[in-house]
A = this chain, B = another copy of it.
Amino acid sequence: MNLEKLKKQIEFIKEIDKLKYILRKTKLINSDRNENDAEHSWHLSVMAIVLAEHANAPIDMLRVVKMLLIHDIVEIDAGDTFIYDAQKSHDNTEEEREAAKRIFGILPGDQAEELLTLWEEFEEQQTSDAKFARAMDRLEPLLQNTSNNGGTWNEFGVNYDKVYAKKYAIAHGSATIWEYAEQLLNESVEKGILKR
């Protein structure tokens, strides 16, 4: 019986319940209710499964889904950083690294190591799996903002160029999805919900 190992795993499972309280800036589709990180991670994981065929390069779907399920867990300690916040870089901060060590570190050693490495791979954006996962993370708020009259773009006064620069990460994961996303951005400008 692995009851000792199991107890560490259960402690981790209870700890990550806190992700359900971390609110993002973006709102749900056709809604003014903020999305939380747990819902967000669920949605990206289903998106990856459904959109897999459009990946630019062969991907390992289980690795992509694991990455997406855990990519925001560090925000339990570090909080959500708005992607267009110039002050506080969205990139991998020291605070997030400490959070990853603490939270994944609750697990038995081999698992802690696996999830920490997977989280770093997502942050570093060098592999096909990480790039496709990131594409999901950029696509979801695009669907949300276009359903909400510009959503956070209008709320925080973010213009086309800034949005384009962030959304371009989609192209590294999937040319097909990027084609669709670029069209959505152009339509948003035409509709006046995204300012030039």
Q: Please give the residue numbers on chain A whose beta carbons come within 8 Å of chain B beta carbons, in ascending order.
A: 1-3, 5-7, 9-10, 12-14, 16-17, 19-21, 28-29, 35-36, 38-39, 41-43, 45-47, 49-51, 53-54, 61-62, 65-66, 69-70, 107, 111, 143, 147, 176-177, 179-180
Question: A49-B69, A65-B62 given as contacts; is B17 within 8 A of A176 (CB)?
Answer: no
New contact pairs (7) apart from A36-B39, A49-B66, CB-CB < 8 Å: A2-B53, A2-B54, A7-B180, A16-B46, A17-B28, A39-B42, A65-B69
B3 touches A179 (CB 8 A): yes
- Bound-state Cα–Cα, A177 to B180, Å: 45
Question: A1-B179, A6-B177 given as contacts; is B42 within 8 A of A12 (CB)?
Answer: no
- Bound-state Cα–Cα, A42 to B42, Å: 5
Q: Is the interface of A mostly helix, strand, loop or mixed?
A: helix
Q: Smallest Cβ distance from A66 to chain B, in angstroms?
A: 6
B38 touches A43 (CB 8 A): yes
- Bound-state Cα–Cα, A19 to B28, Å: 11
Candidates B35, B42, B62, B111; contact of A62 at CB < 8 Å: B62
Chain B residue nearest in CB terms to A46: B69
Candidates B12, B20, B28, B143; contact of A50 at CB < 8 Å: B12
A50 touches B111 (CB 8 A): yes
- Bound-state Cα–Cα, A70 to B65, Å: 13
Q: Smallest Cβ distance from A77 to chain B, in angstroms?
A: 17
A180 touches B65 (CB 8 A): no
Q: Smallest Cβ distance from A93 to chain B, in angstroms?
A: 23
A69: chain B residues at CB < 8 Å are 42, 45-46, 49, 65
A13: chain B residues at CB < 8 Å are 43, 46-47, 50-51, 143
